Structure 1
Amino acid sequence: MAGRIVELTTEICKPILDSLDLELVDVEYVKEGKNMFLRVFIDSPIGVDLDMCSRVSEQLSEALDEHDPIKDPYFLEVSSPGAERPLKNVQDYQKAKGKNVRITTYEMIDKAKVFEGILKEVAEDFLVVTVRIKTQTKDVTIPFEKIASARLAVIF
């Protein structure tokens, strides 16, 4: 059910965001406590501000009411993905080349399941992350099918 709501919301969002030159980063439909939340994350090359999020929220709310894909009560939230935005597809990985990333895998690769470092290469079936281990750096090849989650990482 949640997957279908995410798909329908994505379809409804696209023309709204395209008209505003915005990118759809992610859609989530999740339960927190007793409440359901429909979260839409948007971005643009120059970023998004509160006014833009409000504008999208108003237009999306009207479109969702018109199409009515969600029968139960929910809260709609439209926001920026933030500095540690998720990486969901090959285009996201390509944009992140040369940046700090945090990759979590389903199974161990080189005795680890979490890799933080610079995204060095994006290929068809894998990516390469340069990680720092004490005073040395090492390239780790991670197959896409083993990635559980990936996001940009802010390093302090």
Structure 2
Amino acid sequence: MARIEERLVTLLEPAVSALGFELWGVEFVRAGKHSTLRVYIDHANGISVDDCADVSHQVSALLDVEDPINTEYYLEVSSPGMERPFFSAAQMQDYLGETAAVELTVAQQNKRKFKGVIKAVDGTQVEFEVDGEPMKVSYSAVKKAHLVPQFN
């Protein structure tokens, strides 16, 4: 996670938790005047549009006071959805046996992008099964990862 996202998680987590939600993750996509701050929230009973609006009001007020981002940006608050992005190895623990799409910062085993079944999580190490072969990855080497929903 980039430095700005880490600071934002530290800043926003107490406010989101106080509203009864889990702060799943934060993404800041830089695009000049069109930058976007995405705040993902989760709850065991799911997330409604009203939940997103409530968190957006709280987070927006906090960001106005603290002003951690020195450029213009759009604030988006949403659920992680079916293709939930992963922000840590620990988040993958609940999805053992599920498929994830992963992009690494540097190729491992001649793969930089792959889809693999999440087999095990040990601290910051994640083991995937990719094309029938095991592949261990340190989460620090993951640029992006998200769940791949399966429909039967």
The TM-score, its normalising length taken from structure 2, stands at 0.80
Tell me whether 1:47 sits opposite 2:42 in the alignment: no
Q: Which residue of 2 aligns with 1:35?
A: 34
Name stretches of at least 5 consecutive residues in structure 1 with no aligned partner: none
Compute the displacement of 1:98 (Å): 2.0
Q: Which residue of 2 aligns with 1:118?
A: 117
Compute the displacement of 1:122 (Å): 1.1
For 1:1-156, what aligned pairs fall within 5 Å after superposition? 3-4=3-4, 6-32=5-31, 34-124=33-123, 126-131=125-130, 133=131, 137-155=132-150
Contact 1:100 1:152 (8 Å CA) reproduced: yes
Distance 1:109 1:72 in 2: 36
Compute the displacement of 1:7 (Å): 4.2
Compute the displacement of 1:86 (Å): 1.7
Q: Whose radius of gyration is greater, 1 or 2?
A: 1
Compute the displacement of 1:8 (Å): 4.3
Which secondary structure state, in structure 2, belongs to the residue aligned with residue 17 of structure 1?
A: helix
Distance 1:108 1:8, change over 3 A: closer
Which secondary structure state, in structure 1, belongs to the residue aligned with residue 52 of structure 2?
A: helix
Distance 1:30 1:146 in 2: 19
Distance 1:37 1:115, change over 3 A: closer
Q: Percent identity?
A: 33
Which secondary structure state, in structure 2, belongs to the residue aligned with residue 114 of structure 1?
A: strand
Distance 2:82 2:100 in 1: 11
Distance 1:124 1:74, change over 3 A: closer
Compute the displacement of 1:78 (Å): 0.9
Q: For 2:97, give the aligned amino acid.
A: G
Distance 1:66 1:119, change over 3 A: same
Name stretches of at least 5 consecutive residues in structure 2 with no aligned partner: none
1:12-35 superposed Cα distances (whole Å, 9 cap, x missing partner): 322221122211122223333632
Distance 1:75 1:49 in 2: 20
Contact 2:26 2:37 (8 Å CA) reproduced: yes
Which secondary structure state, in structure 1, belongs to the residue aligned with residue 118 of structure 2?
A: strand
After superposition, the CA RMSD in angstroms is 2.5
Q: For 1:76, give the aligned amino acid.
A: L
